[in-house]
Amino acid sequence: MAIKSTPGLLSACYKHYENNPVDFINDWVWTYDPRQRNPFMPMVLFKKQADLVNWLYMKTIDKEDGLIEKTRDVGITWVCCAFAAWAWLFKDGIKISFGSRKEKLVDELGNIDSIFEKIRVIFRYLPNCFLPKYQDQLGSWMGYREDKDATFMRIINRKTNAMISGEAGDNIGRGGRSTMYFLDEFAFLERQEKVEAAVSSNSDVKIYLSTYNGNGNLFYRKRISEAIPVFSFAWRDDPRKDDEWYAKQQRNLEPHILAQEVDMDPNASVEGICIKAEWVQACVDFHIKNDIELTGDVEVGLDVANEGGDLNSEIHRKGIGVIYWDGWKEGTTGESMLRCYLQAELQGATIIKYDNIGVGAGTKSKAKEITESKTNAIPIIGINAGSTKFYGEWEPGKKNVDMFLNMKALMWWTVRRRIKKTYEYVTGQENHDIEELISLPNHPTLLRELSQPKHWATENGKMRIEPKDQLLKRGIKSTNFADALMLAYAPRPNKISGVW
């Protein structure tokens, strides 16, 4: 091998790989997949996996917690094991810990489904020149030996004193201190609060990793708290998975399992959800997959934060497809309006619609200032989502005011209808007109938010969408991107002026 035979090359490689975990993994790490003819193979990270490795690396540098929400079978555990192996090799004194609900999931000798056996496989296939060599007490040179250095739930680097350790069940977090702690399938731990208390003093970098298990647990609360950085790994981020793969999952899995473990929908078991997650998934990149050119005006929906730490969100749509989205927290409400307007100009928008309730005077005054200071300004329309006065017919003979409690319900049901029709079109149930459909971006937050609010009929038979205060009682802080989408697709007012 050139590394062994070329003087100085090995030390140069060490220097490079020390701060480039993605390169090391792509160059040297092997993985295992029993479904392949040759199950042992080099691990070549696809983009989202490489992004995850870099994200984990930054967590160790910034010393902050993180949460990974994931779909099933996208290789997350292998990626985390590869990252731990890299850190063990190149970072002196580091300690990476793994905890899971069952001991056999963490380590079971000979069982490659366990975390530690995966790491042992990585080291078995690694060239010896990268494995640690050290001098014992007698001065003799020793090398890494699996039977001595990779024992049950513990892998030691005797050259650098780095370690990979494991724990299970209620013992998670009890074993000293760690540089980084992976909490595997955290949503499925029986006593999450107890483990959280134990691990809180164990490490400054705790990685909460899981598929969803409903919305009544600590993992879900952490996810929606917006207090912890989140890495979303959806099945569409895996180039090995396509619509055919998803169709197979639909055939083989119960709907609530499909929604939770594939679509990353923690509200799968909640009754009365307005827009089903499986409908939403059918809309992702619809126009791209069907080679449909987007036509029509560009309309913008802006959900302005109420200066309470919420997220400002804007979505631009051209005809049936979303073409731009953004979210931010910084700035006043007036500055957010200006930011949205400048982007709308770049996109050639013909109208901006924003929810004008509870946003403060800054938004309205800035909208007025912009439109009065520009020639041929883009119209900016304030929409009162709580209004009970609106025009139009939902269908022949049924007025909107008779169908919906307020403007919010009308907007959500308008988008719901598009999403449902797209699902019916994609699954071959109905051949709807293309202009009645919708194409959504692969934006995990937007896709999740669309399937959070519930709906129900009032005593008068009018449709109502779950208000924010009731969402909050279920632990859902906000649906900013979804609300921006509703505004983007909201019916235009009769007159393009003022407040609607």
CATH number of the domain where residue 333 is located? 3.30.420.240
Instruction: Round to whole Å and give the CA distance between 274 and 21.
Output: 43
159 and 275 co-located in one domain: no
Task: Report yes or no on 2 lying in a domain.
Answer: no
218 and 285 co-located in one domain: no
Q: Which residue has the tokens 């295992």?
A: 32
Instruction: Round to whole Å and give the CA distance between 141 and 133.
Output: 7
Q: Which residue has the tokens 């006065």?
A: 389
Block means of pLDDT (10 residues each) for the chain, 500 residues, are 70 92 97 87 95 97 96 92 97 96 93 96 93 77 89 94 93 86 93 89 93 86 87 93 89 82 81 90 95 96 79 96 95 92 96 84 86 93 90 87 93 96 95 97 92 90 91 83 97 56
Angle of helix 192-199 relative to helix 218-225, nearest 10 degrees, comes to 60
- pLDDT for the residue numbered 498: 41
- pLDDT for the residue numbered 213: 86
CATH number, position 66: 3.40.50.300
- pLDDT for the residue numbered 113: 93
Q: Which residue has the tokens 């069982």?
A: 111
Instruction: Round to whole Å and give the CA distance between 81 and 150.
Output: 14
Q: Which two tokens stand for residue 204?
A: 């400054």
189 and 58 co-located in one domain: yes
The helix/strand/coil state of 95 is: strand
DSSP 499: B
207 and 63 co-located in one domain: yes
- pLDDT for the residue numbered 499: 43
Task: Report yes or no on 497 lying in a domain.
Answer: no
Segments of 356-443 assigned E as strands: 380-383, 393-395, 398-399
DSSP 22: H
Task: Report yes or no on 251 lying in a domain.
Answer: no
Neighbouring CB atoms inside 10 A of 235's CB total 21
Q: Which domain holds residue 72?
A: 17-237
How many structural domains compose the chain? 2
202 and 322 co-located in one domain: no
Task: Report yes or no on 6 lying in a domain.
Answer: no
The helix/strand/coil state of 24 is: helix
129 and 176 co-located in one domain: yes
Instruction: Round to whole Å and give the CA distance between 436 and 425.
Output: 10
Task: Report yes or no on 109 lying in a domain.
Answer: yes
- pLDDT for the residue numbered 169: 86
Q: Which residue has the tokens 């540089």?
A: 179
Task: Report yes or no on 4 lying in a domain.
Answer: no
Ordered strands of the 230-233 beta sheet: 150-151, 154-157, 162-168, 95-100, 180-184, 206-210, 66-70, 230-233
Instruction: Round to whole Å and give the CA distance between 391 and 399.
Output: 8
Give the largest Cα separation in the chain, rounded: 94
220 and 302 co-located in one domain: no
